[in-house]
């Protein structure tokens, strides 16, 4: 029986890249399966068409028209505003399945972890709903735990803000400090949304997690036990290793890689903070001082932080005059060992033999990419679930050095504290140590991630189990 799954990714670039990658894996590994991605345009740019290849074979893209991109909308309300377009797209797919005899049967809708409100559309069309959870299994356990505390023990974790409290999260082996909870969980206004999303996740037929069983054994053991959660399939690492950006970045990419080719092996520390990561002038100067003091070669993706309000995060912008922002003479003194860039081809940089360490915001995609290439990381989270990821990588797994686990700069945090040059320098020196235990642990985990995707590997087996379960649940 030929079947089709409909994926609805969140419009964030990291989520869309991961969803495209898992869709490719699914159709490559099972000839019975077709996938359609319903693409919600970015809230910050109306045209999504240039970011996607043309539909081909059993993988196709349904690009929705740009909706209301009012600056007053936050991410949640923006997703809600897209429901009529998504409903119309699913209706057309359903009509095709019924009227064309050769069309595959619609087998279900896979919603992104931030698009759980779209589950009601699956219900309207009597289709099973699944979730693609673009973060890790341990964090999924935290979401369920916070919901259980709220519903069963009447404890709102938002009350733990600014406290020294610790949580016994069932997917962690050690107590978790409330100071590393995501800001939305520490907000009494946003916690109900977090709890409602966890309830929605519990109601799905299964959850695809972008992780590897060997990396999160405690979490996978919990989800395989007797608890009221759907089946969890650890199918990672789901990585987009082919996307190089658009044509306008090709020249910049080539220039960056040429510079890296001229550096000694494992001599460069790479600093990059994701598509939304930027800092103010004062914090930028602290980073510069740390880099110069460390003496290491560096590739620094540097951008200015934009204001964040009403749960709407604007993309960072370039600094117009670096000489005015950076310490006097910094650019001249570091000209032979450092390169400052804006956009970064992150995958290509991490793949370079010249890169020896990575200062990262701890977005889950970035963590998986660094582990895939065996590059040790220094954790400097900024927003979303990144503080939790930093705790997991530093304390739980021992796969990262720490710069500041509980740093946050988001729409709820207000003015951020300044991370000092001393803290940053310490993290840089730790990840750049050549024969450290950290580097050895990262290499061992890198090998496990590669094996997981091979025939007989844990992630390959989980992917096959997911497809088997989908077939059994076809309406």
The total of other beta-carbon atoms located within 10 Å of residue 239's CB is 21
Order of all β-strands in the sheet with 232-234: 59-63, 33-39, 3-8, 105-112, 129-133, 207-209, 232-234
Pairing verdict, β 129-133 and 207-209? parallel
How far is Cα 436 from Cα 447, in angstroms, rounded to an integer? 17
Nearest C-alpha neighbor of 41 from the set 17, 65, 68, 62? 65
Name 400's bridge partners.
377
Residue in the structure block whose two tokens are 């505390």: 149
Nearest C-alpha neighbor of 278 from the set 325, 235, 236? 325
Please answer whether residues 182 and 390 qualify as being in contact, where contact means their C-beta atoms are separated by less than 8 angstroms.
Answer: no
Please state, in angstroms and as integers, the Cα–Cα distance from residue 93 to each residue in 106, 366, 472, following that order: 8, 34, 21
> Helices 13-29 and 364-372: crossing angle, nearest 10°?
50
Catalytic residue among 30, 112, 240, 410: 112
Cβ density class 26-55: b for 16+ within 10 Å, e for less: bbeebeebbbbbbbbbbbeeeebeebeeee
Pairing verdict, β 176-177 and 166-167? antiparallel
How far is Cα 366 from Cα 397, in angstroms, rounded to an integer? 16
112: annotated active-site residue: yes
**What are the phi and psi torsion angles at 30 (to 5°)?**
-145, 115
How far is Cα 287 from Cα 172, in angstroms, rounded to an integer? 32
Nearest C-alpha neighbor of 142 from the set 196, 173, 181? 181
296: annotated active-site residue: no
Please state, in angstroms and as integers, the Cα–Cα distance from residue 321 to each residue in 60, 153, 290, 324, 325, following that order: 43, 53, 20, 6, 7
User: Which phi-psi region, left, alpha or beta, contains residue 456 (left: φ > 0; alpha: ψ -120 to 50)?
Assistant: left
Nearest C-alpha neighbor of 353 from the set 381, 330, 375, 380? 375
Please answer whether residues 319 and 391 qualify as being in contact, where contact means their C-beta atoms are separated by less than 8 angstroms.
Answer: no
How far is Cα 112 from Cα 208, in angstroms, rounded to an integer? 10
Please answer whether residues 69 and 46 qualify as being in contact, where contact means their C-beta atoms are separated by less than 8 angstroms.
Answer: yes
Question: Which residue numbers are catalytic?
Answer: 15, 112
């Amino acid at each position: 029986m030929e079947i089709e799954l409909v994926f609805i990714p969140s419009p964030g670039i990291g989520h869309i890249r991961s969803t495209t990658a898992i869709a490719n894996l699914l159709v490559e590994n099972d000839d019975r399966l077709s996938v359609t991605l319903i693409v919600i345009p970015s809230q910050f740019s109306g045209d999504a068409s240039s970011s996607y290849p043309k539909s081909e074979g059993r993988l196709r893209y349904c690009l929705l028209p740009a909706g209301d991109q009012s600056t007053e909308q936050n991410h949640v309300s923006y997703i809600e505003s897209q429901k009529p377009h998504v409903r119309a797209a699913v209706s057309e797919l359903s009509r095709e399945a019924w009227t064309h005899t050769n069309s595959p049967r619609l087998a279900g809708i896979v919603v992104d972890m931030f698009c759980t409100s779209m589950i009601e559309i699956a219900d309207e069309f009597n289709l099973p709903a699944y979730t693609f959870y673009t973060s890790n299994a341990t964090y999924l356990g935290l979401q369920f735990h916070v919901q259980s505390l709220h519903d069963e023990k009447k404890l709102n974790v938002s009350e733990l803000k600014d406290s020294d409290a610790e949580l016994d999260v069932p997917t962690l082996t050690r107590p978790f400090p409330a100071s590393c909870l995501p800001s939305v969980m520490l907000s009494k206004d946003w916690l109900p949304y977090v709890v409602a999303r966890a309830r929605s996740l519990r109601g799905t037929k299964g959850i695809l997690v972008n992780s590897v069983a060997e990396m999160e054994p405690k979490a996978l053991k919990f989800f395989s036990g007797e608890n009221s959660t759907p089946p969890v399939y650890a199918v990672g690492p789901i990585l987009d290793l082919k996307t190089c950006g658009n044509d306008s970045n090709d020249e910049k990419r080539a220039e960056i890689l040429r510079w890296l080719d001229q550096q000694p092996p494992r001599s460069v520390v790479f600093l990059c903070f994701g598509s939304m990561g930027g800092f103010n002038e004062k914090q930028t100067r602290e980073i510069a001082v740390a880099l110069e003091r460390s003496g290491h070669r560096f590739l620094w993706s540097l951008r200015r932080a934009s204001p964040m309000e009403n749960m709407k995060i604007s993309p960072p912008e370039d600094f117009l005059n670096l000489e005015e922002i950076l310490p006097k003479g910094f650019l001249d003194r570091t000209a032979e060992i450092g390169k400052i860039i804006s956009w970064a081809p992150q995958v290509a940089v991490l793949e370079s033999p010249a890169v020896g360490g990575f200062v990262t915001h701890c977005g889950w995609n970035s963590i998986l990419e660094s582990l895939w290439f065996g590059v040790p990381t220094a954790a400097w989270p900024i927003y979303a679930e990144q503080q939790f990821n930093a705790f997991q990588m530093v304390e739980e797994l021992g796969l990262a050095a720490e710069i500041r686990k509980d740093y946050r700069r988001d729409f709820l945090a207000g003015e951020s504290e300044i991370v000092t040059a001393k803290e940053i320098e310490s993290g840089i020196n730790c990840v750049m140590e050549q024969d450290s235990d950290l580097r050895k642990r990262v290499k061992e985990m890198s090998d496990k991630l590669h094996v997981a995707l091979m025939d007989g590997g844990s992630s390959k087996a989980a992917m096959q189990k997911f497809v088997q379960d989908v077939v059994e649940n076809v309406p």
